[in-house]
Amino acid sequence: MNNEKIIEAKGIIKTYDDSGVPVQAVRGIDYTLTKGEFTAIIGPSGSGKTTFLNVITGLDTPTEGEVWLSGRLLSKMSGNELSDFRRDHIGFIFQAYNLFPVLTVEENVEYIMLLQGVPKEERHNRVMSMLEKVGLADYAQRLPSRLSGGQQQRVAVARAMVSKPSLVIADEPTANLDSKTSGALLDMMRQLNEDTGMTFLFSTHDEIVMRRAKKLVVLTDGKLDGNSPPEEYE
Amino acid sequence: MLSKLAWRNIFRQKRRTVLTLMTMTGGFVLSSLSIGWMNGSYSNIILFFTNSRTGQIQVHHEGYLADPSIYSTIDNFEQVGSILDSIPDVRSWAPRIYTGALLALKPAGHTSNVYSSSAAASVIGIDPAREQEATGFSDQIIEGEMLTSSDADTSLSSTGQILLGKELAITLEASPGDSLILLSQAANGVVADKRYVVVGIVSTGNTQIDRRTSYITLPDAQNLFALEGKAHEIAVLSSTLNEVDNLTAAISGRLSGRNLETDSWKVFAKEFYNGMKADESSLEVMIFIIVLVAAMGVLNTVLMMVLERRREFGVMKAMGTRPGFIVRMIMLEANIMGFISILLGSIISTAGLLLLSKHGIVMDPPLDYGGAVFREMVASISPDCYWIPAICVMLTATIVSCIPALNAAHTKPAKALRTV
Ligand SMILES: Nc1ncnc2c1ncn2[C@@H]1O[C@H](COP(=O)(O)OP(=O)(O)OP(=O)(O)O)[C@@H](O)[C@H]1O
Ligand SMILES: [Mg+2]
């Protein structure tokens, strides 16, 4: 495994102050994610996992600290640059699926490639082979509302990975899935990680995910407790 | 892609879309009908005013309008008339002589030179046949009858026919059948006096005019005031109101080199025209209010839509959608709805305008416009009824959607994603 740094975060502090009462969700984190990792950030509810993931991917701005994405300082990137960077390099999987309700399964998966301007035929081929992988090839023309939760999450996985991003960020991807579906989904992602070297970073409190992660990062109360291989944690 | 998303989003919240479409369509139809109805009323009033009195175009000797003098005449008016006859859009024309005189009444039955009352009056020489054709003059005669358009003896020793304005007749205590003496000065300086018999009473509806105006035949006036072959004014009736400016220019061109000036009603009836203009700006205010109300409705639904879909915009942004794409998508949605509203509105407006143009709105009490009374106002259909509301709808959709769109596009994805 090479040591190319995909994300490098230094001294990250995030304080929410929307409601007038400041809440420090992240309290000084230094973190480096290298290419090819398959890492799960674990920690109790409210420990700051979502906040941390948001900050290191530019979905939110840190109150203090610096984030480098593939060697580029995030705070120096313009809105469009950041959009384009996420479009081309990061795939997101959300806890609540967040598929576009007005688009069919195929169109949902196709979306990022449309933004990228991938030619129609290639788009179609890649969408179909991706749907094949997640076992939803027969559902291409359905609207998300007519799929089960597990099926929707599989579409979300397909959507996040079809454009071959170098990094996939998944915030509690299995929270709404049963254990069987969760396991299958994680096996599939792990397979992709092994085959293509695609980097994965999860947040979770799901044991199924933890067990399949190559590395666990523990977050408590807005701070990292240190890295450890899953065996040690168990 | 953009249009696919926009199009499908429109049909997502059907009830809200229907509400937005109704608001926009309603705004379109209301402004369209107001424009059609106002324009119809204007052209009615203008037509009535000009048709019954002034004509839409007048020809005078140069400078006559600014300084009406008995000497500023259109010489050889028949020749000018035949030129007018050769212009296709001229429907009819009527020559007139304007002078002033002292009228003194000699009650019927009295033979001696006893005059019971007198009044200063303006005397208009009219060609009864042409005047009738042009302005339907006899409609205004409320008592007695029209001047006879015969080549009757116009000599000073014979008795002429005269029509009196209603209030003038009251001042003079004159009624049809009475004789009076007209005293004035002719263009050649000679005293003009002649005996007349009152044949009828005229009511134009405008008491100012009727208080001081009397009418005799044109040949009579020409003879009496030593203006043979001349006239002060030729009133021209155009076949269409919309073409008046072009026709004015055409006539002016054909009459060039004769020291004549040709003006449209906008010039010679300036006050009346300005009154119309003022009404037009009240129409603008009305349309502005309609647009404002519709805009509030649309703004409301666009804001609701943006709030509801906040999470989705967050996902779009997280996935690498540029802010500009989101702005364009939301604005396109509003504009598509605007476009649909214009199509729907045009259909409804056309039906409404057709109905209003056939069955006008009855004015109760009737509208009195400078003496001209209107009982029923009808709409007229013109391109204005469509393109003005259409532009308003599109502008409204664009302006009203741009702020929520910018707002949606620039919220932090993290924040948007947290909203449920
Ligand atoms: N917008 C906000 N305003 C104020 N406080 C917030 C906001 N978002 C999160 N927090 C607080 O920040 C802390 C971290 O929240 P965060 O969502 O990052 O935790 P988490 O580890 O993802 O939790 P979970 O496992 O439940 O998803 C919590 O105490 C939460 O209440
Ligand atoms: Mg969370």
DSSP labels, A31-74: EEEETT-EEEEE--TTSSHHHHHHHHTTSS--SEEEEEETTEEG
Answer yes or no: is the ipTM higher than 0.95.
no
Q: What would the pLDDT profile of B177-189 be if each residue is shown by its tens digit?
A: 888 999 998 888 8
3-state helix, strand, coil in chain A (%, to 5): 40, 25, 30
pLDDT > 60? residue B1: yes
Cα A183 to averaged position of ligand 2 atoms, centre (Å): 20
Residue located nearest, by CA, to atom 1 of ligand 1 = A16
Cα A51 to ligand 1 centroid, rounded to whole Å:
6
For residue B84, the surrounding DSSP H or E stretch is helix B77-85
Mean pLDDT (chain A, rounded): 89
What Cα–Cα distance (Å) separates residue B120 from each residue in A204, B162, B181, B182, B214? 106, 14, 12, 10, 10
- Is-contact A170 A93, C-beta < 8 A? yes
Q: Which residue of A has its CA nearest to B8?
A: A102
Nearest chain B CA: its distance from A230 CA (Å): 29
Q: Is A85 within 8 Å of B12 when comparing Cβ atoms?
A: no
Task: Calculate mean pLDDT across residues B73-100.
Answer: 91
- Tens of pLDDT, residue by residue over B382-395, are 888 899 999 999 99
Residue B107 has pLDDT above 70, yes or no: no
pLDDT, tens digit, 9 for 90 and up, residues A191-204: 889 988 899 999 99
Residue B162 has pLDDT above 90, yes or no: yes
* Residue among A17, A49, A203, A206 whose CB has most ligand 1 atoms within 8 A, to mutate: A49
Do the Cβ atoms of B5 and A61 come within 8 Å?
no
Interval A77-84 mean pLDDT? 90
Q: Between B155 and B331, whose confidence is greater?
A: B331
Percent of chain A scored above 90 by pLDDT?
64
Distance CA B8, CA A26 (A): 40
Non-local (6+) Cβ contacts of B157 within 8 A are none
The answer, yes or no, to whether residue A91 has pLDDT greater than 90, is yes
User: Averaged over A162-168, what is the pLDDT?
Assistant: 91
Q: For residue B371, what pLDDT is reported?
A: 53
In contact, A131 and A162? CB cutoff 8 Å: no
- Pairwise CA distance, residues B92 & B80, whole Å: 13
Q: Which residues of B touch A85 (CB under 8 A)?
A: 320
Range of A156's domain?
5-233
pLDDT tens string A15-54 = 998 888 899 999 999 999 999 999 999 998 889 999 999 9
Higher pLDDT, A210 or B1: A210
Return the ligand 1 atom nearest residue A53 CA.
Answer: 18
**Domains of chain A: total:** 1
User: What are the extents of the domains in chain B?
Assistant: 2-50+273-418, 63-258
* Residue A145 pLDDT grade (very low, low, confident, very high; cuts 50, 70, 90): very high
Q: Which residues of A touch B417 (CB under 8 A)?
A: 54, 59, 94, 98
Q: Does A233 have pLDDT greater than 60?
A: no
Averaged pLDDT for residues B37-56:
78
Q: B323 vs A80: CB contact, 8 Å cut-off?
A: yes
pLDDT at A229 (0 to 100): 52
Counting ligand 1 atoms within 8 A of each CB, the residue from A23, A95, A225 with the most, and so the one to mutate, is A23
Least distant ligand from the CA of A205: 1
State whether A102 and B413 contact (CB < 8 Å): no
Work out the minimum CA distance from B318 to partner chain A, whole angstroms: 6
Number of A/B CB contacts below 8 angstroms equals 73
* Neighbouring-strand partners of residue A219: A224
| pLDDT tens column, A100-109 | 999 999 999 9
What is the chain A residue with the closest CA to B319? A87
pLDDT at A232: 47
Judged by average pLDDT, the poorest of B9-23, B86-100, B358-372 is B358-372
Q: The CATH number of the domain where A145 resides is what?
A: 3.40.50.300
Q: pTM of the prediction?
A: 0.74
Mean pLDDT throughout B80-91?
Answer: 90
Distance A171 CA to ligand 2 centre (A): 7
Cα separation values, A193 from A5, A128, A154, A200, Å? 16, 20, 16, 7
Q: B324 and A103: CB-CB below 8 Å?
A: no
pLDDT at A234: 42
- Output B339 or B356, whichever has higher pLDDT: B339
Interface test with chain A among B1, B7, B311, B315, by most A beta carbons within 10 Å: B315
A112 in contact with chain B, both atoms CB, cutoff 8 A: yes
**What's the pLDDT score for residue B368?**
60
Average pLDDT of chain B to the nearest whole number: 86
Closest residue in A to B315 (Cα) is A98
State the residue for tokens 């937005």. B20
Q: Give the rounded distance of the alpha carbon of B353 from its chain centre.
A: 18
B90-106/B233-238 β-pairing: antiparallel
Interchain CB distance below 8 Å, B5 and A80:
no
CA of B348 to the centre of ligand 1 (A): 53
Output the DSSP codes for B155-216. STTS-EEEEEEHHHHHHHT--TT-EEEEEEE-TTS-EEEEEEEEEEEE--S-HHHHTTEEEE
The model's confidence at residue B420, banded by pLDDT at 50, 70 and 90, is low
Enumerate residues lining ligand 1, CB below 6 A. Answer: A 16, 18-19, 23, 25, 43, 45-51
pLDDT at A74 over 70: yes
- Of B312, B317, B414, Cβ closest to residue A83: B317
**In which band, very low, low, confident or very high, does the pLDDT at B222 lie, cut at 50, 70 and 90?**
very high
Q: Which residue does chain A place closest to B13, by CA atoms?
A: A102
Which of A83, A90, A171 should be substituted to probe chain B, the one whose Cβ sees the most B Cβ atoms within 10 Å?
A83
Under a CB-based contact definition with an 8 Å cutoff, are residues A218 and A233 in contact? yes
Average pLDDT over every residue of B131-150: 86
